[in-house]
Structure 1
Amino acid sequence: MDKWMNEPGLIGFESFFDEGELLQIACSLIRINTENPPGGEEAAALYIQSVLKDNGIDSELSLAAPGRANLTAILEGRLPGPTLVYNGHLDVVPAGDRWTKEPFAGVVENGRLYGRGASDMKSGVSAMLYAAIILKRLGNPFAGKLILFFNADEEVGNLGMKHFMKAPFMADYAVFSEPSDLDVCVCHKGDARIRITTSGTSGHTAVVEHPDNAIMKMIKLVQALEGLGREIGTRKHAMLGAASLTVSKFNGGSAPNMVPNRAVVEIDRRVMPGEREEDVFAEIERTLSEVARREGFDYQFDPYLYVPPHEIAANHPLTQAALRISAETTGLGKKAKPFAASAECPFFSERLGVPTLILGPGSLLEAHTANESVDIRELTDAAKVFVRLACEMLQEGGISS
């Protein structure tokens, strides 16, 4: 028996924890196809709701769109205290091809669970769900509230989070179970995307003497963006590296013997903690407008996506507790590190001001791949970590910063 199982509130833990039961929950979730698009997360939410009901835990579903459900469940502690949110998303990316195993069968083989979402992130959802079940069986041995919040549409358009933000609940801490190898991810870059369009006048290239060429206009803008990108690349973050600006798509023209009347580029701008949305877009538009004004043409500027960056201090009590508990539970050295992809943390950390980190089973190296899988031992350890973390963070009077 691990020494921590004798900690106050966790006595009896071992008799309630069944790795096979947890694995069955994870397998069942993988077998529910929630490829996004189209999503269909309501089916997964209904399954989770049934598991919670079987364990005496009430929950509510809220539809962000037809078939696109969020689920919320609240465990009340024995005493008043802080609120901790455990979050995961219910959608997965399309399975794609090149699988040698059935992507929605929940195959268990050689100590690993295979299937789309095994790492990203139905293992994380399952571990958080099972942690809540164990805490319920232990009699909710904490103060305050533990909230499970599982949402739709993380992989495409954030419909679930946007729906939640219409009437959000507040919390003192939040943990997102994206795949982190059970390390503690304390930051990630933001992402801004802009579509730029220039216009020209069509004509036969053989007879037009002074072509109004949309592509040539766009080239001037792209050259200016190249210079801005070099300057942006000098902005560094200790963990995340450099900010960036990339011209990632370029389309224009319709035939080799026609003057192009339209050109479109798309820009991907990776944003660092401390940079503000309005400044990110204004800097790019200022660069473009200077060129267009000098050269005497117009353009269209469409900033169609903004995902804020995210950061929590490495010495925050939530970070430190998560690091220690993960290391003690796994018997491995655990570290604070950046999350290489973007996530939905900023909905809590930036918009609601809730200290938030990423901690979950699985690896980003497995996410979105054929034969995606997770180590079953890591899935089990994750559930134990989530039980312990809730008991530690949810104490009467809270944890001092």
Structure 2
Amino acid sequence: MDYKEKVVEWIDSNQLDIAKVLSEMVKIPSVNPFFEDNKDVIYEEKFQEFLANYLEEMGMNVELWEPNAKELAKYEGKAGYYEGRDFTNRPNLHGELKGTGGGKSILLFGHADVVKAGDEWQEDPFGGEIKDGRIYGRGTVDMKGGIAAMVMAVKAIKESGIKLRGDVYVGSVSDEEAGGMGTLAYVDKGYRADGCIVTEPTKLNIAPLCRGILWGKLTVLGRAGHIEMDQEDWRTGGAVDAIDKATLFLEHFKRLNKEWAITKKHPLLPIPCQINIAQFNAGEYPTSYASKAEIVFNAQYLPSEKDENGLGSNVKKEIEDLVMKVANTDPWLQENLPEIQWIVDADCGETDYGNPFVQTMEKAALSINNDITVEGLSCHSDMGWLIESGIPTVNFGPGEPRIAHQADEYVEISKLIEATKIIALTIINWCGIEE
């Protein structure tokens, strides 16, 4: 039996233990405070401490530290920087397993934070329930399933008695779900590797790119007035329905999306970039016209559209120009200009398909599952700063991305095991071994 067979056999023989590790991770409700800011929420700290202890028991050297927004102010205006962001009880983690020398290094990378559970769960969102071949809970897909797979891949190699030539690093950061400042802090520390796997959920496909994501809020003003009464002209004090004015922008967003469906495509992405409406907030009373309407939207952009700071300012301007163009067609809006507030600009990245690291990972994946393909991520991941720092990076992990933030989020144990095998074989092939 060769070393690869030994590793695969160990993983097959320890499937339940791998599932239990993920279950224990899910039981730690590491909710990002962007979504749930109260003293009863644990945030990322307890998860990072759990992971640090596990890695140390495996023989890895581990560092935990809390990022400091003031120390990162030199990145103002660049991807991932948000002034005043608080990282109290929200540490980053870096672990190292030194090789014997002469091999290439690899970074296994993930984020500790999850979005809040929300409503409509049939399962306990932080129960880590194992049943019917699945593990349920917030974060099973996004992305504690990937973290469990990468950690257990390293353990499988060690338990199989294999000595790697290259170094293996494990990075786990806070704050990915709200813009990626944890990754900025990680890169700022100077950590580098010859290749990186970000274990975001990809359905076990290899994703050498992700899109950038813009969150924006468009505020459209109106003037309140009795909705059941005939209204005089707005110039002489009549009411103006903010909802009616906001629909003008919704219609033009639809038209722009038809253009983007043609102009903002990528051969490795299954869908084009679009402006998707996430929230529509308007009105005060059933008897009054709305005095204000807010449209919260999510717009995506391609790596080729990044500006010099790695952000989406070019796409922001495209949307802002459209909003002003629409406003200039309406006398009320001309005098009461709508306003766009940009909430999040999450960067993107791309590693060329021909890069040796991508090829190494694809070969390992196909040796386990012939149905695996190369396909980009339609959502954001933390790969942007890793690529900017010179590390060839791919996204790869178990789970269906479409159910990542849903109620009753789950990952199939069989896919978790496949991911563990593929990551382990990629580590072996990339780092090399001492015969």
TM range, normalised to the smaller chain? 0.7 to 0.9
Aligned to 1:49: 52
| Range that drifts further, 217-226 or 307-316 | 217-226
Q: CA deviation at 1:222?
A: 4.4
1:243 and 2:281 matched: no
Distance of aligned partners of 1:55 and 1:220 in 2 relative to their CA distance in 1, 3 Å threshold: closer
What's the secondary structure of 2:398's corresponding residue? coil
Aligned to 1:347: 385
The letter of the residue matching 2:240 is N
What's the secondary structure of 1:254's corresponding residue? coil
Q: CA deviation at 1:68?
A: 1.7
Aligned to 1:121: 143
Q: Deviations over 1:120-160 (max 9, x none)?
A: 32222112112233445567733443210012233345343
Aligned to 2:25: 29
Distance of aligned partners of 1:364 and 1:278 in 2 relative to their CA distance in 1, 3 Å threshold: closer
Q: Tell me how large the CA RMSD over aligned residues is.
A: 3.4
Q: CA deviation at 1:110?
A: 4.2
Query: Residue 198 of structure 2: which of 172, 176, 183 is its match?
Result: 176
| Range that drifts further, 180-189 or 90-99 | 90-99
Q: CA deviation at 1:260?
A: 4.6
Query: Residue 274 of structure 1: which of 304, 321, 329 is its match?
Result: 304
What's the secondary structure of 1:121's corresponding residue? helix
- In terms of fraction of residues, the more helix-rich structure is 2
Query: Residue 229 of structure 1: which of 229, 248, 257 is its match?
Result: 257
Aligned to 2:421: 384
Aligned to 2:344: 305
What's the secondary structure of 1:242's corresponding residue? coil
Aligned to 1:4: 4
Could you tell me how far apart the structure 2 residues matched to 1:106 and 1:221 are? 43
Distance of aligned partners of 1:145 and 1:320 in 2 relative to their CA distance in 1, 3 Å threshold: same
Identity of aligned residues (%): 25
1:254 and 2:284 matched: yes
Could you tell me how far apart the structure 2 residues matched to 1:15 and 1:229 are? 45
Q: Which runs of no fewer than 5 residues in structure 2 stay unpaired?
A: 68-86, 307-311
| Range that drifts further, 92-101 or 302-311 | 92-101
1:150 and 2:179 matched: no
Q: Deviations over 1:35-76 (max 9, x none)?
A: 443452211111111122222212011224222222110122
Query: Residue 358 of structure 1: which of 389, 395, 398 is its match?
Result: 395
Could you tell me how far apart the structure 1 residues matched to 2:233 and 2:112 are? 58
Q: CA deviation at 1:223?
A: 4.5
The letter of the residue matching 2:24 is S
Q: Is the 8 A contact 1:198 1:214 kept in 2?
A: no
Distance of aligned partners of 1:213 and 1:111 in 2 relative to their CA distance in 1, 3 Å threshold: closer
| Range that drifts further, 22-31 or 65-74 | 22-31
Could you tell me how far apart the structure 2 residues matched to 1:367 and 1:54 are? 30
Distance of aligned partners of 1:289 and 1:107 in 2 relative to their CA distance in 1, 3 Å threshold: closer
1:63 and 2:70 matched: no
What's the secondary structure of 1:59's corresponding residue? strand
Could you tell me how far apart the structure 1 residues matched to 2:408 and 2:99 are? 40
Distance of aligned partners of 1:278 and 1:124 in 2 relative to their CA distance in 1, 3 Å threshold: same
The letter of the residue matching 1:304 is I
Aligned to 1:186: 208
The letter of the residue matching 2:206 is V
The letter of the residue matching 2:386 is F
Q: CA deviation at 1:365?
A: 5.0
What's the secondary structure of 1:79's corresponding residue? coil
- In terms of fraction of residues, the more strand-rich structure is 1
Q: Is the 8 A contact 2:187 2:389 kept in 1?
A: no
Aligned to 2:105: 83
What's the secondary structure of 1:195's corresponding residue? strand
Could you tell me how far apart the structure 2 residues matched to 1:43 and 1:52 are? 14
Q: Is the 8 A contact 2:213 2:379 kept in 1?
A: no
Aligned to 1:319: 358
The letter of the residue matching 2:292 is R
What's the secondary structure of 2:141's corresponding residue? coil
Distance of aligned partners of 1:103 and 1:267 in 2 relative to their CA distance in 1, 3 Å threshold: closer
Could you tell me how far apart the structure 2 residues matched to 1:293 and 1:325 are? 56
Could you tell me how far apart the structure 2 residues matched to 1:146 and 1:196 are? 45
Aligned to 2:72: none
Aligned to 2:80: none
Q: TM-score, normalised by structure 2?
A: 0.77
What's the secondary structure of 2:172's corresponding residue? strand
The letter of the residue matching 1:302 is Q
Q: CA deviation at 1:280?
A: 0.3
Distance of aligned partners of 1:132 and 1:229 in 2 relative to their CA distance in 1, 3 Å threshold: same
Q: CA deviation at 1:262?
A: 2.9
Q: CA deviation at 1:199?
A: 3.5
Q: TM-score, normalised by structure 1?
A: 0.82
| Range that drifts further, 213-222 or 126-135 | 213-222
Distance of aligned partners of 1:317 and 1:247 in 2 relative to their CA distance in 1, 3 Å threshold: same
Could you tell me how far apart the structure 2 residues matched to 1:166 and 1:69 are? 14
Q: Is the 8 A contact 2:282 2:293 kept in 1?
A: yes
Q: CA deviation at 1:203?
A: 5.5
Q: Is the 8 A contact 1:141 1:391 kept in 2?
A: no
Aligned to 1:399: none
Distance of aligned partners of 1:2 and 1:185 in 2 relative to their CA distance in 1, 3 Å threshold: farther
